[in-house]
Amino acid sequence: MVLKLRGSDTSALVAESSAGGLTLLAAADEVSWRHLDALLLSALGSQGGGGDPKTGSGDGLFILANAAGAVIGGSVAIEDLDRHVMAYSSSPDQRIDALRREGILSRRVPEIDHNLERYRIVLGSDKVVRFPDALGALPRAAIAIRAGTQPLGTIWAIESTDGLGSDGEQALVDCARLASLHILRSRNANELELQKRESALLGALEGSWAAHETVFRLSIPPGVDLGLLGFAATTDATGSLALTAYLSHALSRYIVPFRPDASIATTSRAVYVLLPGGGSQAARRIARDALTAIRGAFGDSVRAGVAPTETDPAALPAMRREIDDILRVTTAHADAPSVAGLTDVHARLLLARVADELGHEPRLRHPAVAAMAVHDAEHGTDFVLSVLAWLDAVGNVAEAATRLGVHTNTLRYRLRRTADLFDISLDDPDDRLSLWLQLRLIHR
């Protein structure tokens, strides 16, 4: 039972409930019932999504796991996006290891260093993915559970001693297809409402709705500040991106209970969060707290972008473009701030836009840049680095020579030679700026 005390004495009520075995939860007077409902749904939902093993969709998922396990010959586990074990096979002669036993007993996959990368690979593939044995765990095959393009979870099977085989692979494919139906059937009304809001927010960010339509679809109070956050994963060592669907699920678990009025939308590149009311500083605080909350699953591999608040819903597409620009910079640079606005990355973004324009219009490139690079490669000279060091030192020859490790007269000679060989006028401020921009793009 949940109640609001409103300053009343509860000693008698506590005694009565204790005697009757009834649990009481006191909610602060200022907390809305809607907010409290969202908190409870999130807390209960995070304990596992499969339901009772003996009833409803939980029973169906256990049947699917056992059927797949019988074909494959190894233990099969069906998991949600939080890596909770919703169902598992229970054949007495199935192949199993200690890691799977621990996951079944705790109903959650143990934290292993390589887990995040493996989940990225599985959720990023539309086929069965196989993993060799590692850290004492047996070889595994896995597949994503999807409803259309939306990930719902994963299925993991321990391979038999003979390997997976075509029958085992087909069993996993069939299991994933049927599991999606069971999971969708068990979803509660709160999750369905979030899906509706996601579709509405995606349309608003793409400029598909008129302002009044956006207000109606997202239930935005008139005149409130609209804050927009964006989250994206950094590129890893191989250049692949973390899957945003998994990121979206983790962010929803944290943000929605505290901000039931928030709308969350996911694209292939980023997760966007619309926050009606609160201002820019509140949005930054939520972004920082959200990154802290998901650090256990993602480490420090996620960046957040914050757009300035607006009161006009028609500004949402422009806010989204600004966030995309911010994330483009912060996800590509390890030293970028984890939470950033445009002013935090302005210089790097400007360079990125210049690089875009030069890529689209190669004729705009300063011809001396390529000529110097070719000369250096063919003759072993250092004209590119010398000019760049001088520009970085804002024309201070002594400082630039020190950075290069050469005598000042050597650097002066190189600078004079650049003018002769490559038709560069280092006395012209426009020429200097053009050279500096392009050399910075090459050596940043």
> What is the model's pLDDT at position 389?
93
Q: What is the mean pLDDT of the chain?
A: 85
Which phi-psi region, left, alpha or beta, contains residue 107 (left: φ > 0; alpha: ψ -120 to 50)?
Answer: left
Whether 87 and 62 have beta carbons less than 8 Å apart is answered as: yes
- Nearby residues of 100 by Cβ (< 8 Å), 6 or more positions away: 75, 77, 88, 158
> What is the model's pLDDT at position 194?
76
* CATH number of the domain enclosing 264: 3.30.70
Residues 134 and 233 placed together within one structural domain of the fold: no
The owner of tokens 């003018």 is: 419
Residues 314 and 435 placed together within one structural domain of the fold: no
Q: Is the pTM of this model over 0.75?
A: no
Name the band, by pLDDT with cuts 50, 70 and 90, for residue 58. Answer: low
DSSP for 213-231 reads HHHHHHTPPTT--EEEEEE
Q: Is residue 352 part of a domain?
A: no
> What is the model's pLDDT at position 32?
57
Q: Which two tokens stand for residue 286?
A: 């939520």
Count of other CB atoms within 10 angstroms of residue 91: 15
- Over 50: is that where the pLDDT of 356 sits? yes
Q: 443 or 255: whose pLDDT is higher?
A: 255
DSSP for 280-307 reads HHHHHHHHHHHHHHTHHHHTT-EEEEEP
Q: How far apart are CA 194 and CA 231, in angstroms?
A: 18
Q: Is residue 392 part of a domain?
A: yes
What distance lies between CA 309 and its chain's CA centroid?
Answer: 22
Residues 153 and 105 placed together within one structural domain of the fold: yes
> What is the model's pLDDT at position 118?
87
Residue where one domain finishes, among candidates 186, 202, 229: 186
Interval 363-381 mean pLDDT: 87
Interval 296-306 mean pLDDT: 88
Question: How large a percentage of the chain has pLDDT more than 70?
Answer: 89
* CATH number of the domain enclosing 381: 1.10.10.2840
Residues 311 and 376 placed together within one structural domain of the fold: no
Whether 255 and 273 have beta carbons less than 8 Å apart is answered as: yes
- Over 90: is that where the pLDDT of 366 sits? no
Q: Alpha helix locations (H) across 310-366? A: 316-330, 346-360
User: For 165-194, what is each residue's pLDDT tens digit?
Assistant: 999 999 999 999 999 988 887 766 667 777
> What is the model's pLDDT at position 30?
57
How are beta strands 271-276 and 226-233 bridged, if at all?
antiparallel
Interval 25-50 mean pLDDT: 57
Residues 213 and 329 placed together within one structural domain of the fold: yes
Question: How large a percentage of the chain has pLDDT more than 90?
Answer: 38
Q: Is residue 356 part of a domain?
A: no
Residue where one domain finishes, among candidates 291, 315, 344: 344
Residues 300 and 209 placed together within one structural domain of the fold: yes
Residues 13 and 158 placed together within one structural domain of the fold: no
Residues 26 and 87 placed together within one structural domain of the fold: no
Q: Is residue 132 part of a domain?
A: yes
Closest CA to 250 of 44, 46, 34, 107: 46
Residues 309 and 377 placed together within one structural domain of the fold: no
Query: Which stretch of DSSP H or E encloses residue 414?
Result: helix 408-422
Q: 17 or 325: whose pLDDT is higher?
A: 325
Residues 267 and 333 placed together within one structural domain of the fold: yes
Residue where one domain finishes, among candidates 156, 186, 216: 186
Whether 272 and 201 have beta carbons less than 8 Å apart is answered as: yes
The interaxial angle of helices 316-330 and 189-205, nearest 10 deg, is 90
Which phi-psi region, left, alpha or beta, contains residue 136 (left: φ > 0; alpha: ψ -120 to 50)?
Answer: left
- Over 80: is that where the pLDDT of 52 sits? no
Count of other CB atoms within 10 angstroms of residue 403: 16
Which phi-psi region, left, alpha or beta, contains residue 167 (left: φ > 0; alpha: ψ -120 to 50)?
Answer: alpha
What range defines the domain where residue 32 resides? 2-45
Q: Is residue 355 part of a domain?
A: no
Least confident of 123-127, 148-152, 335-339, 386-390: 148-152
Closest CA to 271 of 321, 316, 332, 230: 230
Q: Is residue 306 part of a domain?
A: yes
- Nearby residues of 90 by Cβ (< 8 Å), 6 or more positions away: 62, 66
The interaxial angle of helices 429-443 and 346-360, nearest 10 deg, is 90
User: For 213-257, what is each residue's pLDDT tens digit?
Assistant: 899 888 888 889 999 999 998 875 343 444 677 888 889 888 988
> What is the model's pLDDT at position 188?
62
Residues 196 and 333 placed together within one structural domain of the fold: yes
Q: How far apart are CA 390 and CA 397, in angstroms?
A: 6
Say how many domains are in the chain: 4
DSSP for 122-177 reads HHT-SS-EEE--BTTBPPEEEEEEEETTEEEEEEEEEPBTTB-HHHHHHHHHHHHH
Residues 306 and 199 placed together within one structural domain of the fold: yes
> What is the model's pLDDT at position 55?
41
User: For 39-50, what is each residue's pLDDT tens digit?
Assistant: 565 455 444 444
* Backbone CA torsion sign across 333, 337, 342, 343: negative
Q: Is residue 51 part of a domain?
A: no
Q: Is residue 350 part of a domain?
A: no
Count of other CB atoms within 10 angstroms of residue 328: 19
Whether 77 and 96 have beta carbons less than 8 Å apart is answered as: no
Identify the three-state secondary structure at position 100. helix
